[in-house]
Amino acid sequence: MINGKRIAVVFPAYNAEKTLEATVRELPELVDIRILVDDHSSDRTVEIAHQLGLQSFVHDRNYGYGRNQQTCYLEALAAGADVVIMVHPDYQYTPLLVTAMASMIAYGVYDVVLGSRILGGTALRGGMPLYKYVSNRLLTAFENLFLRVKLSEYHTGYRAFSREVLTRLPLRENSDDFVFDNQMLAQCVYFGFRIGEVSCPTKYFEGASSINFRRSVQYGLSVLATTIQFALQQAHLSHFQIFSDSGKRLDVRVPTYYSGLSQPSGR
């Protein structure tokens, strides 16, 4: 707990048995709620999560990274979290920064905090493939131009959000795939939330998850589409539900949304 705010860390997991324990071991003690959502892994991810004492929820099939995040945030909100930090369980990002990121939100400095691999200039030294680094820089420049903000990157998987952000954004309008991350940040900008960044070292290694070149291209095209949608909505030339006040939001009071989940364990 920080400044009277309950802190939750959520792990959107898929086949993370090799790296989950190392990730969890670095979590600071101030974390009040620890939740893992498994997107129908074929390995021992859930078994290890139980051994580590995580609250675990298991999808009955592989719904995708975006849907996994939605479940993570729903469960964190249902558990009473005031600040929610998403940490990938593949140990690419160090959980040691959770305290700093959560504090910025708990004390009202920002509504959203990103762990940036670009700030500090360590991305390539940490093993980020050159083509991913170049595409990250190009996409980020394009997004900054049209979203009229200045972030060092939009594509980090290390993010902290206030409860208000998670309940106000129309997250259920977003994709179930990887572009969910980018849509969510575009929504944060559109709805006027304050976004901060901290420098975060990253580690690329054999056990860390990473999408292949084909999926990276698909993701890049989806990012461009999201950015153009944002610009068209801002110019009142079109209307998209992901940027609409009437868009579907996360609602912990709607039990039907939990269809497709096994019974929670570890509580």
pLDDT of 132 reads 83
Q: Which domains does the chain have, with CATH numbers?
A: 7-253 (3.90.550.10)
pLDDT of 209 reads 55
pLDDT of 52 reads 96
Contacts of 250 (CB under 8 A, 6+ apart): 70, 73, 74, 77, 166, 167, 171, 172
- How far apart CA 179 and CA 191 sit, in angstroms, is 18
Contacts of 38 (CB under 8 A, 6+ apart): 13, 14, 45, 46, 49, 56, 57, 58, 59
**What single-letter DSSP state applies at residue 1?**
-
Q: Could you list the mean pLDDT of each consecutive 10-residue stretch along the chain, which spans 267 residues? A: 97 95 95 95 95 93 93 94 96 94 98 92 78 90 96 95 97 95 98 96 65 82 97 96 95 54 53
Beta strand 83-86 with 55-58: parallel, antiparallel or unpaired?
A: unpaired
pTM, rounded to two decimals = 0.91
Tens of pLDDT, residues 125-144 = 777 888 888 999 999 999 99
* DSSP-derived 3-state class of residue 3: coil
pLDDT of 264 reads 56
H-type alpha helices, the chain: 20-25, 45-51, 65-78, 98-106, 130-147, 163-168, 180-190, 213-234
pLDDT of 265 reads 55
pLDDT of 258 reads 47
pLDDT of 256 reads 39
- How far apart CA 106 and CA 1 sit, in angstroms, is 9
Beta strand 159-162 with 112-116: parallel, antiparallel or unpaired?
A: antiparallel
